[in-house]
Structures are given as structure tokens and as C-alpha cells.
């Protein structure tokens, strides 16, 4: 067996695609392909270049083409494997790379309205100063995402491993009208790519006046849409869920107007 044939067989054996020849046959005409591809198979040696350009014997020429294509397939398969590995990850370069990257990705998904995506970065056993964090944090994300606003954040690495501190502010028409634009410093703990502890801000300064306005403006609507239903509640007793959030968000423009905003 020639050296070239041995090299070809080794490439095929090592290639992630079980049968590169069969695979390529489904894409290209294997008999016609040597002529179609000869211009891209360039050797650094003059004599090899001349052979490829037309002086090879048919069998030798075809074997060289097959070796070149097997090499191409091997490179393509490796690159494809890297691409697949990237795509099946969480889809974010920042998420999982560093603790600060995880927290920033959490906020980015929150602002995109991707509740499930944001909560996928929170460990099931995550805690807050008030106890388990997952349920109330999801409720807060759902509630605030109903408004036409966003969470502003400026994060930095904390003093201990996995600790991230963020200046965190909810920017929406109501916070601006109430002059509640100042950021609040809050901390996150990240372990193995997931948030395990979070200290969320308290939005009572926004929720209390909005609740009072909603009760006065549309008492029946508030009673129906923001009635207790087992969802986590804020400090003034308003449920944090998408339904109540959407109801209050629908009154936001009228509330801001009532403040002269």
C-alpha cells in the first residue's frame, strides 16, 4: 500500500464523519469532482502542482483529490463540532464565562422579556435575605417586564470569589416621574455559572403610589387583576405577576399625567 493510500485511510479512520466518501458522494459527483476541484488543490511543490494541473494518471489524481477532500472534511467536521458546542450552550458569550458575565446576561435577558432565559441563570436553591429567591425573583421579572421600561445596571467584581455588586435601577416612566432614578447597590453571588444569592431592591416608593392610584382610578379592575392569587406580593400587598403588572402598566401613562409628568 502506498504512503498516500495509507495517509488517506488514516484520515478516514480519524474523521468524525463515519464515511466521508459516501457523504461527499451525496453532495458531489465523485467522478466529475476531480476536474471541478483541481484548481483549489495546490501543492507547494512545483512537480506536484504540475501533476494536479493535468499530468497525473487518472487513479493517482483521484486518490490525491480524495486525500485533499478527506482533509477538508476533517477540518470542516472539527469546526462544525465547535460551532455545535457553541450553539447548544446558553447562546451568550458572557453567560458562564465569569461571575460578572452571568449577572450581566441575567439582566440582558430580563430586559429582553426572556423570563425563562433570565431564570435559567439562577440556581434552584438560590437565596435572598428574605429566604428562597427563585419564586419571588421570577415574579419580579414577570411583573416589571410588563412595563415599558428596563433595568439599568452597572456591575463590578466584588471582593470575594463569585461576588458581584451592581448599581441597579428600574428605569420606567413612573420611576422618572417620581424621581426614583437613583441606582441602588445590590450584591449577587455566582457559583458554577449560576446566581446562588441575590439582594433585590425594594420598589415600595413606586408601588405604593401606583397602587393607590389604580385603586382610585379603576377599583374593579384592580380587584380583579391584582387580587391575591398565591403569587408573591410586594410590601404593600400587590401581587407580583404578569397579570397585575400588565394592569398597572396600562395605567402608567395616566398615573404619570396625574403627577404633572
Instruction: Show pLDDT as tens, one digit a residue, over the chain (261 residues).
Output: 544 454 445 544 544 444 444 433 333 343 434 443 333 333 334 444 444 444 444 554 455 545 444 443 343 333 333 333 333 334 334 455 899 999 999 999 999 999 999 999 999 999 999 899 999 999 999 999 999 999 999 999 988 999 999 999 999 999 999 998 888 899 999 999 999 999 988 888 889 999 999 999 999 999 999 988 888 888 788 899 999 999 999 999 999 999 985
Domain 99-258 of CATH type 3.10.450.50? yes
Name, in order, each residue with C-beta under 8 angstroms of 122's C-beta and a sequence gap of 6 or more. 106, 133, 134, 137, 194, 195, 198
* Residues 39, 34: Cα–Cα separation, whole Å: 9
In this predicted structure, what is the pLDDT of residue 96? 55
Instruction: Check: CB of residue 12 under 8 Å from CB of residue 57.
Output: no
Residue identified by cell 439599568 is 152
Scored b (16 or more CB within 10 A) or e, 224-255 reads ebbeeeebebbeeebbbbbbbbebbbebbeeb
Residue 127 C-alpha cell reads as 437565596
Instruction: Check: CB of residue 81 under 8 Å from CB of residue 16.
Output: yes
How are beta strands 122-128 and 194-198 bridged, if at all? parallel
* Residues 14, 62: Cα–Cα separation, whole Å: 20
pTM of the model: 0.62
In this predicted structure, what is the pLDDT of residue 158? 83
In this predicted structure, what is the pLDDT of residue 63? 52
DSSP string of 118-162, one letter each residue: HHTTEEEEEEETTEE-HHHHHHHHHHHHTSS-EEEEEEEE-SSTT
Strands across the sheet containing 184-191: 131-132, 122-128, 194-198, 184-191, 163-171, 150-157
Instruction: Check: CB of residue 183 under 8 Å from CB of residue 155.
Output: no
CA dihedral defined by 233, 234, 237, 241, rounded to 10 degrees? -50
Q: Where are the domains of the chain?
A: 3-87, 99-258
In Å, how far are 28, 90, 103, 116 from 75, measured between CA atoms?
18, 25, 35, 36
DSSP string of 210-222, one letter each residue: HHHHHHHH-HHHH
Query: Which three-class secondary structure state does DSSP give residue 22?
Result: helix
Containing 197, the helix (H) or strand (E) segment is: strand 194-198
Amino acid at each position: 500500500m502506498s504512503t498516500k493510500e495509507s495517509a488517506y485511510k488514516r484520515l478516514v479512520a480519524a474523521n468524525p464523519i463515519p464515511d466521508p466518501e459516501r457523504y461527499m458522494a451525496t453532495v458531489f459527483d465523485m467522478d466529475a469532482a476531480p476536474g471541478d476541484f483541481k484548481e483549489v488543490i495546490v501543492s507547494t511543490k512545483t512537480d506536484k502542482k504540475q501533476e494536479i494541473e493535468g499530468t497525473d494518471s487518472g487513479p493517482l489524481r483521484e486518490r490525491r483529490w480524495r486525500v485533499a477532500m478527506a482533509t477538508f472534511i476533517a477540518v470542516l467536521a472539527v469546526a462544525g463540532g465547535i460551532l455545535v458546542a457553541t450553539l447548544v450552550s446558553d447562546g451568550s458569550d458572557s453567560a458562564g464565562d465569569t461571575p460578572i458575565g452571568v449577572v450581566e446576561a441575567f439582566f440582558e435577558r430580563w430586559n429582553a422579556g426572556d423570563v425563562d432565559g433570565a431564570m435559567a441563570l439562577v440556581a434552584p436553591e438560590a437565596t435572598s435575605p428574605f429566604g428562597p429567591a427563585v419564586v419571588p425573583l421570577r415574579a419580579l421579572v414577570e411583573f416589571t417586564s410588563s412595563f415599558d421600561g428596563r433595568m439599568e445596571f452597572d456591575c463590578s467584581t466584588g471582593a470575594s470569589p463569585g461576588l458581584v455588586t451592581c448599581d441597579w435601577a428600574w428605569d420606567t416612566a413612573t420611576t422618572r416621574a417620581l424621581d426614583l432614578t437613583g441606582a441602588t447597590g445590590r450584591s449577587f453571588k455566582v457559583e458554577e455559572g449560576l446566581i446562588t444569592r441575590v439582594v433585590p431592591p425594594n420598589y415600595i416608593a413606586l408601588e405604593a403610589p401606583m397602587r393607590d392610584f389604580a385603586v382610585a382610578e379603576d377599583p374593579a379592575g384592580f380587584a380583579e387583576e391584582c387580587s391575591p392569587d398565591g403569587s408573591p406580593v410586594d410590601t404593600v400587598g400587590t401581587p407580583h405577576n404578569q397579570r397585575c403588572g400588565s394592569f398597572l402598566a396600562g395605567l402608567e401613562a395616566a398615573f404619570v399625567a396625574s403627577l404633572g409628568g
